[in-house]
Every structure is written in C-alpha cells, then in structure tokens.
Structure 1
Amino acid sequence: MAQHTVRIWDLPTRIFHWALVAGVVALVITAKLGGNAMVWHLRIGHAVLALLVFRIVWGLVGGRWSRFTTFLYSPARLLRYLRGKPHPEDGIGHSPLGALSVFALLVVLLAQVASGLFSDDEIAFSGSLTRFVPNALVDQATRYHKDIGQYLLIGLVVLHVLAIVFYVRVRGQQLVKPMFDGDKLLGTPAQPARDDAVSRLAALLLLALSGALSWWVSSLAVTGF
C-alpha cells in the first residue's frame, strides 16, 4: 500500500503544544515549591493564559487539522470509534477519543488559570483580579485552585500521557513524532494543513496580541481599570 506523507500539525500548533507542556510542568513545580517560587508561578500562569487565548483563536483560523471543527465529533461517531468502527479520517488528526482529551484539558486549564487570577492564599500569592471581586468569590476560587483544579489537571495530564503510551506501544500509532515535525505517514491521501510563511506570520501576530492581553490582565493588579 502506498504511503503518503502529509503535513498535519502546523508549526504554530506544535510550538503551542510543547510550550504548554513546559508551562504546565513549571506551574506544578512552582506550586509545590511555594514561597518565593510563587512569583514565578504567577508569571508562568500569565504566560499559559496567553497560550490558551492563542490556541482558542488558532482553533478557529489555524491549519486544517488544528481547527476545532475538524475534531468536534458527534456522540454517534465517538461510539463507532469505541466499537472499533472508526471513520477513515479518525486517524488523521485527533481521534474522537483524543479530541475528548484535548477539549477536557483546555477546559480544565482555562478553569485553573481563571481561578488563579482570582485566588489569594494571603501568604505568597495573590491573583491579578482578586481586588475586583467579593472576598467570598476569592475564597471559592482559591479553594478550587488549590484543592480541586490542580489535582484534576494533573490527573488529566497523566491520563493523556498514558493514552499516548497505549496508542504508541499497543496500537503502533506514531503520535509523538508528528508533533515535532508536523508530518504523518498515512495510508490514504489527505488534505494537508496550511503551514506556510504567511500563516506562521499570522500566528506570530496572534501570539503577540494574546501576550499583550495577558500582560494587560497582569497589570490590573497594580493599575486597576
């Protein structure tokens, strides 16, 4: 059977993925260290906020297989996949099960970052937006951020990694290499993702705007509206 090398993951998506991995690891480490490390926890949290804003917009306008519309599957298609009757395109980008993992991680990360912005441990950490909301909401956000959100996030990350190991080791699917070089070896032709200089420049501009938004949010802790 002829094999086709197809660009699936554009460079902006790949950079986002590995930057997010580094950011989440750094957030967990700084949270566990506490003390002076919480200054970096706050800074990294704002960096992750910028990444998430970028990914949400890129999920609307980015390369074909990075767009949410290409892996927003119906329940019926997910059930067929779980029953061993996948659609021909299920193995190109995110599979229906992989898509669930991606959306779950994005939602939990957004909740964790948002709750961090409204958290205050009254010792070494105060989110950028705490002074704009009632104390009761700050207390709720702090409890979620410390006692629920971080463990939910760690659990999802562990499940995500275990799923990747399963698909690589048991099913023989190459999932890691394409996230480095962007290409997948497919048994059938598929429309490649756009990954040219123009799209990369647009992604760079979007990342800069996302970073500016995150910086503005961080500045509210000092300047207010």
Structure 2
Amino acid sequence: MSIEQQKIKVWDFPIRLFHWSMVGLLAGLWWTAEIGEMQWHQVLAYVLMTLILFRLVWGFIGSETAKFSHFFVGPKKVIQYALTKPKPRSLGHNPLGAYMVFALLGLIMLQLTTGLFATDEIFTEGPLIHLVSSDTANWLTWLHKTNFNVILGLVVLHVAAVIVHVVKGENLVKAMFSGYKYVSGQVTAPALRSPWLALVIVALLFAGIWLLLLGPVVSFL
C-alpha cells in the first residue's frame, strides 16, 4: 500500500448487510424453486421484498455513498468512463457499477412483482393472481422464470467485473465486508447515516409485508 493512500469508510453497515443478504436470498430462492419448496420460496421472496424496498428508501435518505444521486450519471459519462484507460477509481460505485446496481434493482423488482401473479399450476399461486386472467397469469409466470435467468446472467457479469478489479489491485469484496477502501490523495470521508435509522425503516417495512403477504404464508408452514 502506498504511503499516500488513506483508509476511508465508504460503505455503511446497512448497505453491506443488504448486499450479502441479497446474495444469500437469491441463492435460496433459486434452490427452493428447484426442489419445489414453493412456500419457503414465497417466504424468502417476501424477505427479499423487504430488503429491496429498504434499499429504495435508503437510496434517497441513507448514507452519502448509498444515495442514488451520489452515483447516478448519464449515458455519456458511462461511455466516457468505459473508454478511459487507465480507469479512475471511484469512492463509491463507478459509473458502470452504478448502472449494474440500477439494472439489478430493476430486474429484482420485476421478479418480485411477477411472482405476485405467478402460479406453479399445482399447489402454489401468487397472492394477487385473482386480479388477472389465467392467460395473463401464465404469461407473468413465464416472465418470472425467464427474468430470473437474466438476473443470473447479470450476477455472473457482476462477479466477473469484481474479479477483474481484484486482479488490478482493488479488492471490492474486502471493501464490501469491512466497509473500508484505500484511496489516494486527500479525500473527504462520505457522510454515513446511523444504522439505527436503517433498522427502524426495515422494521416498519417488514411489519407491513408481514401483515399483507408474509404472515399468511408462514401460518401454513
């Protein structure tokens, strides 16, 4: 490590917990679908819904590096970043990484929404399936299954990008565990919000999802 580098806390605990919880939940959702444990699949989906809703809220009122306004850039800047060599290091998400965040959040929200109308045509149906016709439900079920493959493709791409960064000397995996990055020059540490605020937000969101969706599923387990 260069003596000119300084250690700065970039990622708050709520963001780090969200990140690794999402990894575990996506793996669990894939596995429960594969083995036909659809009630547990729904439970995990509603927990993931809580986390995604939290991330959306935290993207507006959370820590500086978690805010969408901190890392959202226009397509021109993304292209410029992609063509720049060597690429400058970013305190938070770089422009390409930011677009990956938005893509994954959008696709996961689509996945959760279509799941509310999906059916396995045997035992399990989404809680809102009664609002659509059988043809629409079948189409949304197909979209639900197909979209998950798209999510897996983006996850593979994301992992590949992280590996490239590690090879080039920027260990993003370690940073997402510890919250710290080493940066060159004099850089002002980003403002981080209290994890207790995040806990209150998650608790309120979870309570709402429990009452509307999760509670009835758990009662049948």
Normalised to the residue count of structure 2, the TM-score between the two structures is 0.90
| Runs of 4+ residues deviating >6 angstroms | none
Classify 1:63/1:11 alpha carbon distance in 2 versus 1 (closer, same or farther; 3 Å).
Answer: same
Deviations along 1:104-130, one digit per CA (max 9) or x if unpaired, are: 111111101111111111213211221
1:73 matched to 2:73: yes
Per the TM alignment, residue 220 of structure 1 is displaced from its structure 2 partner at its CA by 9.2
Classify 1:139/1:173 alpha carbon distance in 2 versus 1 (closer, same or farther; 3 Å).
Answer: same
- Supply the distance in 2 between the matched residues of 1:32 and 1:209 (Cα, whole angstroms): 31
- Supply the distance in 2 between the matched residues of 1:17 and 1:219 (Cα, whole angstroms): 22
Instruction: Give the equivalent residue in structure 2 for 1:44.
Output: 44
- Coordinate RMSD, CA, aligned: 2.0
Unpaired segments of 5 or more residues in structure 1? Answer: none
Given candidates 206, 210, 213, the residue that maps to 1:215 is 210
- Supply the distance in 1 between the matched residues of 2:60 and 2:87 (Cα, whole angstroms): 23
Classify 1:60/1:205 alpha carbon distance in 2 versus 1 (closer, same or farther; 3 Å).
Answer: same
Instruction: Give the equivalent residue in structure 1 for 2:101.
Output: 102
One-letter code aligned to 1:187: S
Instruction: Give the equivalent residue in structure 2 for 1:62.
Output: 62
Deviations along 1:69-92, one digit per CA (max 9) or x if unpaired, are: 11101122112211116886x521
- Supply the distance in 2 between the matched residues of 1:213 and 1:121 (Cα, whole angstroms): 26
Instruction: Give the equivalent residue in structure 2 for 1:189.
Output: 186
SS of the residue corresponding to residue 172 of structure 2 reads coil
Normalised to the residue count of structure 1, the TM-score between the two structures is 0.88
SS of the residue corresponding to residue 76 of structure 2 reads helix
Instruction: Give the equivalent residue in structure 2 for 1:166.
Output: 164
- Supply the distance in 2 between the matched residues of 1:14 and 1:42 (Cα, whole angstroms): 24
Classify 1:87/1:67 alpha carbon distance in 2 versus 1 (closer, same or farther; 3 Å).
Answer: farther
Instruction: Give the equivalent residue in structure 2 for 1:157.
Output: 155
Classify 1:114/1:69 alpha carbon distance in 2 versus 1 (closer, same or farther; 3 Å).
Answer: same
Classify 1:61/1:23 alpha carbon distance in 2 versus 1 (closer, same or farther; 3 Å).
Answer: same
Per the TM alignment, residue 215 of structure 1 is displaced from its structure 2 partner at its CA by 1.8
Per the TM alignment, residue 29 of structure 1 is displaced from its structure 2 partner at its CA by 0.8
